[in-house]
């Protein structure tokens, strides 16, 4: 993958409606300089009964879309919004080697409350619980601003794209272009069931 070109496109798309600053460019470049360390083995996760093998990345993962929220954000709002990501979750069945990882920063003593809220939504995907926000502490290259908390990792855990494709059609097209280039297509998208919003 031509990472520099993809990151440059990511810069343009992420900030096309905002004034692009050198500081922002520096933050995104810094994110791509070191691999992102995610300790899945020591990160509790929530999953419902329909999920198979909730054990972190598998060997053939080429791309992982990380959707992170820290404990300072509204947890119940984040949980309710998870279903907006289902069109990207469905891509896991279409492109071999692509996956979406939802990681929630959980404050002290909040883990069971978060699990209960997730159970009520019956969200059909694994959600990792980052107790103590270790993702950010182990990866100082990731800025604390939520704008930078959705990013695509390549097979070597380096950041390839930065920015959320949820409300940005250009970013979604770029994400799909990278996925189609790196991951073989093995299926078709099937409509997902409606959410249970508590």
The CA dihedral of 122, 123, 128, 130, to the nearest 10 degrees, is -80
Q: Domain ranges in the chain?
A: 3-182
Tokens read off for 196: 């249970």
* pLDDT tens digits along 25-36: 889 889 999 999
Long-range contacts of 163-167 (CB under 8 A, 24+ apart): 163/10, 163/13, 163/14, 164/67, 165/88, 166/84, 166/85
Q: Is the pLDDT of residue 17 over 50?
A: no
pTM of the model: 0.83
Inter-axis angle of helices 3-14 and 169-182, to 10 degrees?
A: 160
Residue 104 · residue 134 · CB < 8 Å: no
Least confident of 125-129, 135-139, 194-198: 194-198
Position 51 pLDDT exceeds 50? yes
56-108 pLDDT per residue, tens: 555 568 999 999 998 888 888 888 889 999 999 999 999 999 999 999 998 87
For residue 10, what pLDDT band results from cuts at 50, 70 and 90? low
**Residue 40 has which token pair?**
């899945």
Q: Are strands 150-153 and 63-69 parallel, antiparallel or unpaired?
A: antiparallel
**182-183-189 Cα angle (round to 5):** 135
pLDDT at 162 over 90: yes
CATH says 3-182 is which class?
A: alpha beta
In terms of DSSP H, where are the helices of the chain? 3-14, 22-33, 75-81, 86-89, 91-94, 111-121, 134-138, 169-182
């Amino acid at each position: 993958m031509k990472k520099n070109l993809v990151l440059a496109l990511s810069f343009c798309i992420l900030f096309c409606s905002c004034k692009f600053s050198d500081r922002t460019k520096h933050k995104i470049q810094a994110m791509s300089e070191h691999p992102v360390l995610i300790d899945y083995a020591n990160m509790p996760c929530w999953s419902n009964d329909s999920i198979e093998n909730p054990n972190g990345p598998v060997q053939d993962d080429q791309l992982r879309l990380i959707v992170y929220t820290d404990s300072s954000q509204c947890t119940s709002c984040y949980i309710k919004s998870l279903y907006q990501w289902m069109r990207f979750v469905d891509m896991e069945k279409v492109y071999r080697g692509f996956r979406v990882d939802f990681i929630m920063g959980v404050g002290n003593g909040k883990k069971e409350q978060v699990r209960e809220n997730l159970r009520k939504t019956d969200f059909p995907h694994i959600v990792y619980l980052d107790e103590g926000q270790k993702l950010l502490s182990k990866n100082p290259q990731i800025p604390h601003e939520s704008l930078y908390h959705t990013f695509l990792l390549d097979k070597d855990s380096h950041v390839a794209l930065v920015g959320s494709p949820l409300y940005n059609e250009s970013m979604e097209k770029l994400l799909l272009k990278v996925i189609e280039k790196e991951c073989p297509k093995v299926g078709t998208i099937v409509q997902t069931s409606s959410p249970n919003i508590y």
